[in-house]
Structure 1
Amino acid sequence: MRKVSHEWQKYLQKGFIDKKYWNDFKENAQAASVELKEVKNYEDAMPIIEDIIAGAEASRLAAVGGGESEELSRIYKNLGQKYQVYTDKFEIARNAPSVDIGISTAEFGVGETGSICVDNYSYEARVATMLPPINIVFMNKNNVVDTMTDAFEILEQVFDKGYTGFVTGPSRTSDIERVLTLGVHGPSRLILFAVDGME
């Protein structure tokens, strides 16, 4: 899968990430309606994901990032035994209108805002994160920076061309009679798995 950078971790470790920013990130992410799940590993996420799928009566998933993570690839393979899981970019593109849940990864979180930074250079990553009504994202729990200023300093180092984004909770708008509505222009649910032992 094409990415803006395959070396995010190298730049994050240059004094930007610290566990002490986690509590701010958690508080601000939950205030932005992120459904936060703290898990020790990918395996612990599996039953939670199956509950989400069952609760949403979902059957079709677009799943990206498995090529960079053996554990995530295993999750997709296991889900594929019960559900239709699209991991190929052409399959994702063809089936985008009927996908119920998108699964992807985030590079890091921002304590100040509760936002997550996503490397969405590839078309399939953009589809998986923006079109389905439910967006499930995996992030290394240790990858949290303090401020948006820090986040942009990291982007300055890794970015050459492509597309990255900051996601702060599910899609929301209040332009219809000033009533806050979730999911009008994108996913109505953002479920973030913060993984302790993530690669």
Structure 2
Amino acid sequence: MSSRAKILAQVKANQPATVALPDLELPAHAAQWDALQKFVETLSGIGGRVIRILSGEDATATILQAFDDNSNILNVSATVQGFQALPDAAFDAPAMLQNVDIALMDAAFGVAENGAVWVTEAQYKLRALPFICQHLAVLLPLQSLLPNMHKAYQQVQAMGQYDFGVFIAGPSKTADIEQSLVLGAHGPKTMTVFLLP
């Protein structure tokens, strides 16, 4: 018997005992969450903010009111119009977007449990965009809020094929240095989620 075969035989003979899979049922309190309230609380708690756009309100006006009038807003959202579009040259040189103040994009769904939104490359067009901008603004339909990550991963799986996707929760942050929380350390300084009716 070769050394390789001996090693594999020993590994096979010394396997740990089989144990049952963990119970993945949600805790009782999670089922009682009001998804909207929990999402707002969680995202606010990690440095983001949520602004509701009520039925009949002008989404463009609400977005403009939320930011400084002099902001350079780059729009890759299919939901609203009237802002600067992503230039074709950015696909060859993403660094040209370094002066973008606000990136405005759609999200597929949000997760109440951790305040995250799921976005795919089809929604933000260029992978660098949500991370190179100064402020991230996300448009999210209210009915797309999910209670927890269990439901979120089921939704991701149900979406089928996509090139690249990411959960984004709040602005960029770090507390590595002297345990002092710094927002915008290596990405957007703020994250605003606009909840659509």
Q: Identity over aligned residues, as a percent? A: 23
SS in 2 for 1:48: helix
Q: Aligned equivalents of 1:161 and 1:193: distance in 2?
A: 24
Q: Which has the larger radius of gyration?
A: 2
- Of Structure 1 and Structure 2, which has the larger fraction of its residues in helix? 1
Unaligned runs of 5+ in 2: 1-32
- 2:6 aligns to what? none
Q: How many residues align?
A: 163
Match of 1:24 in 2: 38
Cα 1:46/1:121, change in 2 over 3 Å: closer
Aligned CA-pair RMSD: 2.5
Q: Does 1:107 align with 2:121?
A: no
Check conservation: 1:63, 1:128, Cα contact below 8 A.
Answer: no
Name the residue aligned to 1:86: 85
User: 3-state SS of the aligned residue for 2:68?
Assistant: helix
Distance in structure 1 (CA, Å) of the matches to 2:67 and 2:136: 11
> Does the 8 Å CA contact 1:101/1:133 hold for their aligned counterparts?
yes
TM-aligned CA deviation for residue 38 of structure 1 = 0.4
Residues 1:35 and 2:49 are matched in the alignment: yes
Q: Is the 8 A contact 1:63 1:87 kept in 2?
A: yes
Does residue 51 of the first structure (1) align with residue 52 of the second (2)? no
1:42–1:50: structure 2 CA closer, same or farther, 3 Å change rule?
farther
CA distance in 1, matches of 2:50, 2:175: 24
- The verdict on how the C-alpha distance between 1:42 and 1:88 changes in structure 2, with shifts beyond 3 A counting, is farther
Query: Could you say which structure has the greater relative contact order, defined with CA pairs below 8 angstroms and 6 or more residues apart?
Result: 1
Please give the secondary structure, in 2, of the residue aligned with 1:23: helix
TM-score (norm. length: structure 1): 0.71
TM-score of the superposition, structure 2-length normalised?
0.72
Shift of 1:102: 0.6
Q: Residue 174 of structure 1: CA displacement?
A: 0.8
Mapped to 2, the partners of 1:190 and 1:125 lie a distance apart of 18
Contact preservation (8 Å) 2:109, 2:117: yes
Task: Give unpaired runs (5+ residues) of structure 1.
Answer: 1-18, 80-84
Corresponding residue for residue 184 of structure 2: 183
